Structure 1
Amino acid sequence: MRYDSVTAAIGDTPLVRIEPAVHGLRHIDVYAKLEMLNPFGSVKDRAAWNMVRPGLESAVERRSQIVELSSGNTAKALSVIAGMYGLSFKSVTNRMRVPEVRDLLLLLGAEIEELPGRSECLDPTDTEDPLTLFHRALSDPDSTYLHTDQYYNESNTRAHELGTGPEILADLDGRAPDWFIACVGTAGSSTGVARALRAADPRVHVAGLVAHKSDFIPGIRTIDEVHEVGLFDPATYDTMASVSADEAIEGMLTLNRRCGILAGPTGGAAFHGAVRHLQAVDTPTADGERRTAVFIVCDRVESYLSYVKQRRPDLFGLKERKNSLRDVSEAELGAVVSVPAHEAEAWIGTAQPLIIDLRSASAYTALHIEDSINIADELFGELVRGGLPFSRRRPVLLACPVGDRSARFAALLTRMGHSEVRSLDGGIIAWRDAGAPLVRD
């Protein structure tokens, strides 16, 4: 095949059957749509090209900068496209959490701006959040930027409604699969593919997968976070389920080692979630025909080696780290003292606890509880692995965006012998919503 431009190579990715010996299902054929084989390495290539293309000619004339609120694959694809057209690209995010992605963006010439947001992701309902204000400024009709706006731009969804979905149908000889299982990030690929498949057969069952509330999986949002995305419509999905980081890595390893598919954690989450969902419906049909299911492999493993190493050092011949959040049991988590904002405020006044804000430095700078200290969760995890970083007799209040991460750390500190540690229930967002005082640096 010969192309005049690398963008012409976007799409037409393979649909690969997973051997039944791998997934263990007896009556269902499982197929992986290998979006990792797009030229820039991910499913986001389609959306990036579809969103940026209409404004490119004008942007080139005005020498506009392309801007997107992204810390992952969308930013990667847009930075490549920007360079092809002699334009600059800026990635705006609350926090770059994957070092390999940051390094690649810098290598591609991208500008990275980490804006202080009150929570870890864009919340369009929070009219005072700096990240939300910046998003609104970018979306202004008079903006000099070319803002692709992946969380609200229907071109994101159409890229998959007109491309990915029809390709799946064509590769299945025009017949829609019985199940489509999709990880939900911006919701563009899951929504677009679902529309195309249901147009062919309204009976297609769509299962959405989100990250477990206490976990971070690159490219996937938690159930709370997806509701902040403009493209997300709960009616798209027949069912929603969560996947943990451990499950995502296990699914990834299966694809890597047994299928020859060098998928990243998102693809692993999709595979694990698909098999788990399908096990409950793996029964023979009346006519004896096998049914089909499709999931998407979003990107490749190479960009996430540090992510995997941090969570599974054993895979790299390293010793498992002690005092890890991975070891926290559900029973320990259930025993944590989580205090709502009004009780926490009163407790601060009487016990004068050490208040530790586990959010990113930029989020802390935007707004935080007075007299709290900022130790981002990843750094705090490193400190805890070496033992208790403060006196076990000093009362401690831990706070994070929504209260999930702080609760796990509280459980871990309690196990390590801390006498009085509490978690702020609902996190900084609940504290803000309760009208409790916050200060700004």
Structure 2
Amino acid sequence: MWASLFGGGMPPARGAGRGGVYENVSLTVGNTPVVKISEKLAPPGVEVYAKCEFFNPLSSVKDRLAVAIIEDAEKRGVLKPGDTVVEATSGNTGIAIAMVCAQRGYACVVCMAEPFSVERRKLMRMLGAKVIVTPKAGKGTGMVRKAEELCAKHGWFLARQFENEANWKFHESTTGPEIIADFSGKTLTHWVTGYGTGGTFHGAGKALKRAMPSLKIILAEPEAAPLLKSGIPTERNSDGSPAVTHPAFTSHPIQGWTPDFIPKVLDDAPMDDLRDELFMVPGRAALETAKNLASKEGILTGISGGGTMYAALEVAKIAPKGSVILAMLPDTGERYLSTTLFSDIAADMTEAELEIAKSTPSFQLIPGKPPVLAAT
């Protein structure tokens, strides 16, 4: 509904409402807003936009994936009332699946490697999921193996986000058409996205290229984990899951991007038709751009969103005048409170803040001094 209302112009005014009510929270997934980036970050002569996937109910693009996989499994009859859903995840997919399972009454078990942020574990448990933390040394393939073992032993349903076609097909039918509708009043020239499973790139990319054949699609990858750049394929098991860690993988700070294998969902994409450029993103640049989006634009996104926007802004610097560039922001910065993204953000008052506090006499909380409530 929202996309059709936007029509490439202004969205409905505040107070207009959504024109109806929702039967359950999973129906609120999708139709996320596109927001323009100001000239504080965007270079002159071009327009840069962000599709803010943190407007999904559990604050990430993976809400789409969770709805897609569970609804597809229900339609195929492989997921029935009382069943348990299992997935291996860096966090956002697990949170999304836990949300849909809570809404529909399924038990949920999530396998997650230990380096990923602690707040993600807590969110999944808050949503009723059981979280199985796997050793750091096992990397992404380790958590996948654990999920497979649990399903084999207990007869549970494995979501298989990295291999499941329902993943990219949902993006083809929702994310891509939303973008097309929202840019109906202008010509979108560049679309920039990273990859976790590859579902957004594969599915939305197909829809966008059909509607906009001249569109340039830029796929971003961590500089520290150049799996696609290496040209080396991932070794796979017969079910498409990764057999071993990819030789080009090293650890990187862009959580949710690029596990230690090339996902089959990404591998299955018609790369020659979709990808116009592969852009390598330094981890530090992703972090700094996420911070700049927060402090200069009021947009709170995670490290992956910072990485995608960094790629978009770098593309904008060399793009022809009049270019219109859209970057995908996969999730919210609140998913990263215990990570490097917030490591230099103080919890206590800084010197500058203390000076402001002392500039008036009442209600002062100065370290080493008794609290002051009222000036004497």
What's the offset of the Cα at 1:47? Answer: 1.1
1:41-440 equivalent positions in 2, closer than 5 A: 41-56=59-74, 61-115=80-134, 119-122=138-141, 131-132=144-145, 134-135=147-148, 138=151, 144-173=155-184, 177-213=188-224, 215-221=252-258, 225-232=260-267, 233=269, 234-235=271-272, 236-281=274-319, 283-284=320-321, 290-308=322-340, 311-312=343-344
Give the number of the structure with larger relative contact order, counting CA–CA contacts within 8 Å between residues 6 or more apart.
2
Hey, what's the Cα distance between the residues in 2 that align with 1:304 and 1:40? 14
Partner AA of 1:55 in structure 2: A
What's the offset of the Cα at 1:11? Answer: 0.9
Question: What runs of 5+ residues in structure 1 fail to find an aligned partner?
Answer: 123-128, 285-289, 320-441
What's the offset of the Cα at 1:82? Answer: 0.8
Which of 310-319 and 13-22 deviates more? 310-319
The 3-state SS of whatever aligns with 2:193 is strand
Hey, what's the Cα distance between the residues in 1 that align with 2:347 and 2:279? 27
The 3-state SS of whatever aligns with 1:231 is helix
What's the offset of the Cα at 1:244? Answer: 2.5
Partner AA of 2:306 in structure 1: G
Which of the numbers 19, 31, 50 marks the counterpart of 2:49?
Answer: 31
Q: TM-score, normalised by structure 1?
A: 0.62
Aligned length: 302
Report the CA distance shift for 1:183/1:309 in structure 2 as closer, same or farther (over 3 A).
Answer: closer
1:351-405 residue CA offsets vs partner (Å, 9 max, x unmatched): xxxxxxxxxxxxxxxxxxxxxxxxxxxxxxxxxxxxxxxxxxxxxxxxxxxxxxx
Hey, what's the Cα distance between the residues in 1 that align with 2:137 and 2:291? 35
Partner AA of 1:252 in structure 2: A
Report the CA distance shift for 1:237/1:304 in structure 2 as closer, same or farther (over 3 A).
Answer: same
- Residue 366 (structure 2) aligns with: none
| Contact 1:185-1:226 at 8 Å conserved across structures | no
Question: What runs of 5+ residues in structure 2 fail to find an aligned partner?
Answer: 1-17, 225-250, 352-376
Hey, what's the Cα distance between the residues in 1 that align with 2:56 and 2:143? 34
- Residue 348 (structure 1) aligns with: none
Partner AA of 2:291 in structure 1: L
What's the offset of the Cα at 1:95? Answer: 2.8
The 3-state SS of whatever aligns with 1:193 is helix
| Contact 1:18-1:32 at 8 Å conserved across structures | yes
| Contact 1:45-1:74 at 8 Å conserved across structures | yes
Paired-residue identity, %:
26
1:203-226 residue CA offsets vs partner (Å, 9 max, x unmatched): 21111111231522111116xx35
Hey, what's the Cα distance between the residues in 2 that align with 1:249 and 1:118? 24
| Contact 2:34-2:51 at 8 Å conserved across structures | yes
Hey, what's the Cα distance between the residues in 2 that align with 1:131 and 1:42? 21
Hey, what's the Cα distance between the residues in 1 that align with 2:173 and 2:32? 14
The 3-state SS of whatever aligns with 2:338 is helix
Root-mean-square deviation (Å): 2.8
Which of 305-314 and 12-21 deviates more? 305-314
1:144-198 residue CA offsets vs partner (Å, 9 max, x unmatched): 3222211011111111111011111111116662111101111101111111110
Larger radius of gyration: 1
| Contact 2:201-2:266 at 8 Å conserved across structures | no
